[in-house]
Amino acid sequence: MTFNSISFLVFLPLAFLAAWGRFGWPARKLALLILSYLFYAAWNPPFVILLWISTVIDWFAARRIDRTQSRAVKIGCLLVSLFVNLGMLVYFKYGNFFLGNFQSLGAQLGLEVPSGYSVILPVGISFYTFQTLSYTLDIYLGRARAAKSFLDYALYVTFFPQLVAGPIVRATDFIPQCERPPKFRWRPIGYGAFLVLWGVFQKRVMADGVFAPVVEKVYDTTGSVSFIDAWCGTIAFAGQILCDFSGYSIAAIGVAMMLGFALPDNFRSPYAAIGFSDFWRRWHISLSSWIRDYLYIPLGGNRNGKLRAHFNLMLTMLLAGLWHGAGWTFIVWGCLHGLLLSMERVWVKAVWSRLRHASTRRVLGALGVPVTFLLVCVTWIFFRANDMTSALGICTSAFNPLASNRFSSLVPFGESRNAMLGMGALLSLQQLGRKRTLEDLVSSVPSILICFIMAAMLVATLLWASEDRAFIYFQF
């Protein structure tokens, strides 16, 4: 079930009634929990068992960590949590990757390795695994206390708006919201409905209708692409992945708001970033803050010298790449971001910090936005490409403007024009939102205009003819 499906139009009113019905708060939470399991089971019912395992193991491990004074017991319970959660994640997410590489190695050595075995990836396993791990780690590190109610904790793990594609929510942010019923207020419910419509519009019209046709013609071809196609397809993918993932996150935040819950922002105009540290403060914020708090800082962060800081950055981004997918393209994507972050640290220390003229800083700052965007687009090549051969081929075309086929095109002019116009509009919106939240922007617009915009988005979403595509981040 997805936010842009017909079945969700039936499901959402049921969830709304469960959240605001005229019965006790525990019963309403239980109803939301059951609906969340049904929401997840709509893809593959047996995988609900994985949710139960993760929920129960971390519930008991965290309670034991919280109540015991024995360091050995605390460490043992933490290791059980890590083993179960990371074990499931590694098996289901990386099983095919390891098996494929093992089969390739066996073939090179002349060994017969059984083939035909494949591991099915449960939807959203990375997201709810990171949520349960953060809960146990926070209690082990003394940042939080164990939840008093199993129902509250189970709802935290399973809450359907963010279950399969984030944002990754911390227990310290969500569980306190479960302790007392929210107050029914029309204003946040109305704003939540606007966010749902805005998110679905981004997915249905922008990601699937405007950008995806261009991306698929370029990246799914078996032949070479021209210089124009390489950049057109890559820039279109930058628009597709932002509208697709940001659209889901915004819709998830909106659905949660309609049910009386607050979820954290996951995107803050990332294509208006100046530099890559700024980009990661704006892109997939819940993941970047997670890897910062539970990986980069525990590794030592920047506290142990320059070389160690660069090593920690590279390792952190390598693992971030692996989190996104089991493939060499994702590993390269992560390493490229690690390298760019390290180069930025050197630039800031050696050049930026020594600039004394405000005008020079303003000029370089203005140039920083397009330079950052273009370099991020280069990294997207490896994120989107089907394999390393395809990624390297597109890179070769993108950086070879003198190629003989540089003006040929796989993409019809109308589609490429729409994609570039859509990207121009998207980048303009990103600049408007660089220093302002979406809520601030909406509140500054007259209500009658907001109603008109919502009506236009609804009509476009219903009438736009595009192929129904799954949200990109469901595969993670």
By CB neighbour count within 10 A (0-12 exposed, 13-18 middle, 19+ buried), where does 27 fall? Answer: exposed
Amino acid of residue 134: S
Bond preceding residue 213 cis, omega within 30 of 0:
no
By CB neighbour count within 10 A (0-12 exposed, 13-18 middle, 19+ buried), where does 414 fall? Answer: exposed
CA dihedral 302, 308, 313, 317 (to 10 degrees): -140
Residue 388: closest CA among 117, 100, 92? 100
CB proximity list for 458: less than 8 A, separation 6 or greater: 197
Token readout for 270 is 């990332």
Q: Is 284 a catalytic residue?
A: no
Residue 93 · residue 125 · CB < 8 Å: yes
d(C-alpha 67, C-alpha 74), whole Å:
9
Residue 227: closest CA among 404, 432, 82? 404
Sign of the Cα torsion 7, 12, 17, 19 reads positive
Q: b/e for 316-347, b at 16 or more Cβ within 10 A?
A: bbbebbbbbbbbebbbbbbbbbbbbbbebbee
CB proximity list for 329: less than 8 A, separation 6 or greater: 382, 383, 385, 387, 388, 391
**Sole residue written with tokens 């692996």:** 322
**Cα-based distances in Å from 283 to 320, 367, 419, 450:** 13, 20, 21, 26
Angle at 466 between CA 463 and CA 470, to 5 degrees: 120
Phi, psi of 85 (to 5 degrees): -70, -50
Chain centre distance of CA 314: 20
Phi, psi of 121 (to 5 degrees): -90, 120
Amino acid of residue 237: F
**Known catalytic residues?**
324
